[in-house]
C-alpha cells in the first residue's frame, strides 16, 4: 500500500490517532508560470506563530479542527471544511491544542488576480471558513488528484484553477477596487523590504525611500498586515530563506545570506511559522 493510500485510509478510519500519519509532504508545481505549493500535513498540539503568505492559502481539514485567528477574528474549521487565508493576511494556526491534519495549497497572488479579473471581482475572499458543498467538492477533487495522480500535472492545474474560481464566485461579492493612499504606502513598504531581504532597511532608510514619515509607514503597514515594519521584514527574510532552502541551498548558507545569527536561529523562525523545521521540509519536498 502506498503512503498516500495508507494516509487516506487512516483518515477514514475510526478513533482519532494521528501518530501514524506522515507529518509532512510538500509538492511543488507551476501554474501560469507561477510556483505553487501543495502540502499534506499532520500536526500535534503545537500552534503556529503569527505569519502571512504572499499567496492565497486554501486548506481542506482532514482530521480534527484548525482553530486560527485572522483579521482579528477566530475561526474553527472542522474536518471536511475549508480554511481560507487571503494573500498578505496575518494569521496563526493550531490554536485548539489538539492534533489535526489538512491538505493545503498556496496560490501566488498573480494567479488569483488573473482569475478574479476574468470574473470581474476582487481577488480576495470574504470569509475564513467555507463549508459550502460545491466548494468542498472542488477542494476534495483537487487534493485527491494532486496527491493520487501528481504525474497528470495538467489535470491537477485544471482542478486547482476551478477550485479558486469556485471559491471566488461563491464568496467574493465586491467589485475590483483601487487601493487607498495608506494601503498603497503599505504595499510600497512591502515591496521595498522584499527587494532588500539580504540586508536590513531601517525606518530612516524607508522614510527616505518612500517619502513618508516613519509614523505613516508604521501605521500603514500595521493596518494592512497587522505587523510592524520590523516584523514584516523578518517574515520576508524567513520566507526568502525558505525558498532558497527548498531550491537546494544549505540551511547554514541561507541563514548567513538573509541575516540570521546562525542556522539554529533560522530553523526556529521557520518552525514557528510553518510548524516544520527546514531540514524536514526539504526532505519531504518533491516536484510535480
* 214 and 145 share one domain: no
Q: Is position 251 within any domain?
A: yes
Tell me the C-alpha distance between 17 and 112, whole Å. 36
* 210 and 166 share one domain: no
Secondary structure (DSSP) of 1-34: --HHHHHHHHHTSSS--GGGS-SEEEEEEEETTE
* 15 and 127 share one domain: yes
* 239 and 261 share one domain: yes
* 26 and 140 share one domain: yes
Q: Is position 176 within any domain?
A: no
Residue 245: half-sphere exposure toward Cβ, Cα within 13 Å: 26
Contact assessment for residue 93 and residue 66, using Cβ atoms and an 8 Å cutoff:
yes
- Torsion over CA: 104, 124, 69, 271 (sign): positive
How many domains is the chain partitioned into structurally? Answer: 2
pLDDT digits (tens, 9 = 90+) for 39-82: 999 998 888 888 998 899 999 999 999 999 998 899 999 999 99
Which among 171, 202, 233 is the end of a domain? 171
Question: Which pLDDT belongs to residue 204?
Answer: 87
* 77 and 139 share one domain: yes
Q: What angle do CA 202, 206, 211 make, to 5 degrees?
A: 155
Mean of pLDDT values over 89-108:
94
Confidence band of 12 (pLDDT split at 50, 70, 90): very low
Which among 171, 189, 208 is the end of a domain? 171
* 162 and 25 share one domain: yes
pTM of the model: 0.72
Q: Is position 13 within any domain?
A: yes
Give the start-end residues of each E strand in the chain. Answer: 24-31, 34-43, 48-51, 56-63, 65-70, 73-78, 82-85, 91-93, 100-107, 129-130, 285-287
Q: Is position 132 within any domain?
A: yes
* 14 and 113 share one domain: yes
Question: What CATH number is associated with residue 43?
Answer: 2.60.120.10
Confidence band of 84 (pLDDT split at 50, 70, 90): very high
* 217 and 96 share one domain: no
Give the CA distances from residue 196 to residues 140, 151, 200, 234, in Å, rounded to whole numbers and listed in that order: 39, 37, 7, 11
Mean of pLDDT values over 128-153:
92
Q: Is position 31 within any domain?
A: yes
* 153 and 199 share one domain: no
Backbone angles phi, psi at 6, to 5 degrees: -65, -40
Question: Which pLDDT belongs to residue 175?
Answer: 56
Question: What CATH number is associated with residue 240?
Answer: 1.10.10.60
Domain region containing 195: 181-287
* 229 and 282 share one domain: yes
Q: Is position 90 within any domain?
A: yes
pLDDT digits (tens, 9 = 90+) for 221-240: 888 888 889 889 999 999 99
Q: Is position 241 within any domain?
A: yes
Give every CB contact of residue 90 below 8 A, 6+ residues apart in sequence. Answer: 50, 51, 52, 70, 225, 226, 227
Which among 107, 142, 171 is the end of a domain? 171
Amino acid at each position: 500500500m502506498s503512503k498516500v493510500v495508507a494516509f487516506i485510509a487512516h483518515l477514514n478510519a475510526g478513533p482519532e490517532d494521528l501518530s501514524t500519519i506522515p507529518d509532512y509532504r510538500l509538492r511543488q508545481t507551476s501554474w501560469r508560470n507561477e510556483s505553487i505549493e501543495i502540502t499534506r500535513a499532520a500536526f500535534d498540539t503545537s500552534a503556529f506563530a503569527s505569519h502571512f503568505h504572499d499567496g492565497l492559502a486554501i486548506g481542506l481539514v482532514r482530521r480534527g479542527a484548525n482553530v486560527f485567528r485572522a483579521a482579528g477574528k477566530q475561526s474553527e474549521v472542522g474536518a471536511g471544511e475549508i480554511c481560507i487565508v487571503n494573500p498578505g493576511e496575518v494569521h496563526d494556526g493550531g490554536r485548539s491544542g489538539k492534533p489535526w491534519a489538512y491538505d493545503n495549497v498556496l496560490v501566488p497572488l498573480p494567479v488569483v488576480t488573473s482569475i478574479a479579473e476574468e470574473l470581474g471581482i476582487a481577488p480576495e475572499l470574504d470569509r475564513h471558513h467555507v463549508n459550502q458543498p460545491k466548494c468542498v467538492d472542488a477542494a476534495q477533487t483537487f487534493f485527491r488528484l494532486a496527491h493520487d495522480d501528481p504525474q497528470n500535472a495538467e489535470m491537477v492545474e485544471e482542478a486547482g484553477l476551478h477550485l479558486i474560481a469556485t471559491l471566488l464566485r461563491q464568496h467574493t461579492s465586491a467589485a475590483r477596487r483601487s487601493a487607498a493612499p495608506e494601503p498603497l504606502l503599505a504595499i510600497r513598504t512591502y515591496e521595498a523590504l522584499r527587494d532588500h531581504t539580504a540586508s536590513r532597511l531601517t525606518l530612516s532608510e524607508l522614510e527616505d525611500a518612500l517619502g513618508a514619515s516613519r509614523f505613516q509607514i508604521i501605521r500603514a503597514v500595521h493596518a494592512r498586515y497587522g505587523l510592524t515594519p520590523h516584523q514584516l521584514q523578518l517574515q520576508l527574510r524567513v520566507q526568502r530563506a525558505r525558498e532558497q532552502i527548498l531550491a537546494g541551498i544549505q540551511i547554514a548558507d541561507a541563514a548567513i545570506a538573509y541575516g540570521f545569527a546562525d542556522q539554529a536561529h533560522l530553523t526556529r523562525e521557520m518552525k514557528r511559522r510553518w510548524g516544520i523545521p527546514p531540514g524536514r521540509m526539504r526532505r519531504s519536498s518533491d516536484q510535480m
